[in-house]
Amino acid sequence: MKFTTLPKLGDKVSKICLGTMTWGQQNSEAEAHEQMDFALSKEVNFWDTAEMYPSPPSKDKQGDTERFIGTWFAKTKKRNEVVLASKISPMDFLRDGKTRFNAKHISEALDANLKRLQTDHIDIYQLHWPERRTNYFSTRGYTEEMAAQDLTNLTPFLETIEALNAEIKKGRIRAFGLSNDSAWGVMRYLWEAEKAGLEGPITVQNPYSLLNRLYEVGLAEISHRENVGLLAYSPLGFGVLSGKYLNGEQPEGARLTLYDRFQRYTNDEARWATEKYAQIAEQAGLDMAQMALAFVNSRHFVTSNIIGATSIEQLQTNIDSINVELSQEVLDAIEDVHRQQPNPSP
């Protein structure tokens, strides 16, 4: 395994992060425990979850992923070997769909996170997506409708920062991060925190893959200059970049076979790009999934690459991507495809 350092906290974390959102939908508790055992045996010591998981989210299964992690911690007594990230999620079935990032809701959500996880602290506590409407979750541009939103009805940035800093002082979280946020959002949190002499966000968890490199446009420079690490999610585009859906294939039990709600990685432009990336991998003698993950692993602004798997075989392949070094020829070929079809899956 290769390791990076968490901004500000200084923890040594694996460049590969174990994603957990299939646990409770596509994976049983026993399978989740098997994945945790295997990942830690491969030195993957950084794990990410959320209060709304598993995904796709549902009211009856909400929290199962954290519960599975909690029972593993209780069984193995290995909580101190893991750097753990989780999230507060503004889902419609949580807190009556009225979640605000204020002290009351952050405290309530964190109470439940910690109880399910059977731990007394979370290392990085993330805001799953902004209260305000902005261009995340498949929305490419910042629309006039978004611009018309009145932010005075939402929790002020400083109030959220103060609430999270209060939890840091209590020791219930060690730091906080953002997720699915924009360059403006990240900078506003940093500015408000610095102005108030408080701790600001240390990470941002946004999508990043061969099919979606929008993070590079503005946020990558923020990562570099403000020391805010990217936790890259969907590095395989829901499995599309493994090549398993090429030529119209719909493998049994695969995520896009089971759930038709995930369409952003299967539009015509994404299919064209995926076919080109598959050709690059084949010509270079590379496993396509490992090539896609190795590309993300190699980016200087990525603190950790969040992988997910539904089988130990997939998990092994994904973890082994850390040992794949892409040649300049492969990188040039990837850039050529990107120039022709940039970011087809926002």
> Per the confidence metrics, is the pTM higher than 0.85?
yes
Query: Running DSSP on this structure, what letter comes out for residue 282?
Result: H
Percentage of the chain exceeding pLDDT 70 = 100
DSSP class of 23: B
Tell me the Ramachandran region of residue 81: left when phi exceeds 0, alpha when psi lies from -120 to 50, beta otherwise: alpha
Measured between alpha carbons, how far is 274 from 340 in angstroms, rounded to an integer? Answer: 12
Q: What is the pLDDT of residue 15?
A: 98
Record the tokens describing residue 19, joined without a space: 């994603």
Does residue 260 carry a pLDDT above 80?
no
Please give the mean pLDDT across all residues of the chain: 97
Whether 245 is catalytic: no
Return all residues near 244 (Cβ < 8 A) that are at least 6 apart.
251, 254
Nearest residue to 66 via CA among 94, 92, 43: 94
Strands 12-14 and 3-5: antiparallel
Count CB-CB contacts under 10 A for residue 112. 15
Distance CA 121, CA 129 (A): 21
Q: Please say whether the beta carbons of 297 and 322 come within 8 A.
A: yes
Give the DSSP per-residue string, 162-183: HHHHHHHHHTSEEEEEEES--H
Tell me: pLDDT of 77 over 80.
Answer: yes
Distance, CA of 235 to CA of 293 (rounded, Å): 6
Cα–Cα distance measured from residue 304 to residue 297, given in angstroms and rounded to the nearest whole number: 7
Predicted confidence (pLDDT) per residue in 218-250, tens digit: 999 999 999 999 999 999 999 999 999 999 888
Structure tokens at 43: 């030195």
For residues 65-86, average pLDDT: 98
Q: Residue 261 pLDDT > 80, yes or no?
A: no
The token duo for 340 is 């022709």
* Of 102, 206, 105, residue with least CA distance to 161: 102
What is the set of domains in the chain, with CATH numbers? 3-240+303-325 (3.20.20.100)
Longest dimension (CA), the chain: 55
Please report the sign of the dihedral spanned by the C-alpha atoms of residue 281, residue 285, residue 286, residue 288.
positive
Reported as a single tens digit per residue, the pLDDT across 162-197 is: 999 999 999 999 999 999 999 999 999 999 999 999
Instruction: Write the DSSP symbol of residue 262.
Output: -
The pLDDT tens digits for 305-318 are 999 999 999 999 99
> What percent of the chain is predicted at pLDDT more than 90?
94
Kindly state the average pLDDT of the residues 149-158: 96
Q: What is the pLDDT of residue 232?
A: 98
